[in-house]
């Protein structure tokens, strides 16, 4: 699909910028020499691998989710089995989080090690057609390897923030080599900001793709559009608490789980709901034959 090719190049370019920021910090901390570059590169790779390998465990634990049987959640199993079979992919593990904040997410290293989680709130809020739209979206995150993408972005952003703070502490370079304290001050503010902006751009790109691909998998873009309308209201009425563990996994969720007002919207991990819904309605118009909500 054309959009995947375009967004793949865009994501690669964004990662290139993020790595450039990371290596730039290493250069400055090395007093203008590459002495720290290999250390920081290795640190970034290790953090990426750890975050990626344990992404499912971290997210499931953060949401206090528990595995559910088919007897407990027959509709969820029926939908996921149907969509997985249609996509010729293995059945993921299914979980339910006890929170009443309506949301859902998928995580795991690959389709064979994937998990899909719904909150009690979303299962109560949506009808089966809307839930199918949401689960199609989440499965596409797995099939598109978005968990790897988000894990890498989060890990690199975290390392950049830590190194920027380290740079400030050491005055932006080796003091014995005449490091520039002003460079350290700029780094501690600008580098984490740049990393955050890039991470947000990557996250929003993958959400648009999962919307489009998930709607194509289910054949019902308007079902997902209707679900997103309800989720926008539901997450506003029941936002998750601003807990660091939850913030670390919020980018995996189909809707921003926190209260996003004013300037906070600019730094949301998710695109505006109105834009997502408009794109899905346009997609439905192109596909035709689907009754509008």
- Nearest CA to 97 among 83, 116, 77? 116
116: DSSP letter: E
Given its phi and psi angles, is residue 168 left (phi above 0), alpha (psi -120 to 50 degrees) or beta? alpha
3-state helix, strand and coil shares in percent for the chain, rounded to the nearest 5: 70, 5, 25
Task: Check if 82 is active-site.
Answer: no
Return the HEC string of 145-212. CHHHHHHHHHHHHHHHHHHHHHHHHCCCCCHHHCCCHHHHHHHHHHHHHHHHHHHHHHHHHHHHHHHH
Instruction: Give dist(CA 19, CA 24) in Å, integer.
Output: 8
239: DSSP letter: P
Active-site annotation holder among 72, 128, 130, 138: 138
The dihedral built from the CA positions of residue 219, 255, 205 and 262, taken in this order, carries a sign that is positive
Is residue 113 within a helix (H) or strand (E), and if so which, with residue range? none
Instruction: Give dist(CA 41, CA 272) in Å, integer.
Output: 34
Contact 92, 142 (CB under 8 A): yes
Contacts of residue 35, Cβ cutoff 8 Å, sequence gap at least 6: none
Catalytically annotated residues: 138
């Amino acid at each position: 699909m054309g959009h995947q090719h375009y967004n793949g190049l865009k994501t690669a370019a964004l990662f290139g910028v993020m790595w450039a920021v990371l290596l730039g910090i290493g250069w400055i901390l090395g007093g203008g020499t590459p002495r720290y570059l290999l250390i920081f590169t290795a640190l970034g790779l290790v953090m990426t691998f750890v975050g990626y390998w344990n992404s499912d465990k971290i997210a499931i634990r953060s949401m206090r989710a528990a595995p559910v049987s088919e007897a407990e959640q027959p509709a969820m199993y029926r939908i996921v089995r149907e969509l997985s079979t249609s996509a010729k992919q293995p059945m993921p593990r299914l979980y339910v989080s006890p929170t009443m904040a309506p949301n859902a997410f998928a995580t795991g290293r690959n389709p064979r090690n994937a998990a899909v989680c719904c909150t009690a709130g979303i299962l109560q809020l949506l009808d089966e057609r809307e839930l199918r739209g949401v689960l199609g979206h989440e499965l596409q995150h797995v099939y598109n390897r978005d968990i790897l993408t988000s894990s890498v972005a989060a890990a690199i952003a975290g390392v950049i923030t830590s190194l920027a703070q380290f740079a400030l502490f050491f005055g932006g370079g080796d003091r014995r080599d005449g490091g520039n304290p002003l460079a350290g001050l700029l780094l501690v503010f600008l580098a984490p900001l740049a990393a955050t902006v890039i991470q947000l751009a990557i996250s929003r790109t993958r959400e648009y793709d999962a919307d489009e691909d998930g709607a194509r998998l289910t054949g019902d873009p308007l079902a997902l559009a209707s679900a997103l309308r309800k989720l926008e209201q539901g997450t506003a009425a029941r936002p998750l608490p601003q807990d660091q563990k939850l913030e670390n996994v919020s980018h995996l969720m189909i809707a921003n789980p926190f209260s996003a007002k004013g300037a906070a919207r600019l730094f949301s991990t998710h695109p505006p709901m109105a834009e997502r819904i408009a794109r899905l309605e346009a997609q439905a118009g192109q596909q035709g034959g689907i009754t509008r909500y």
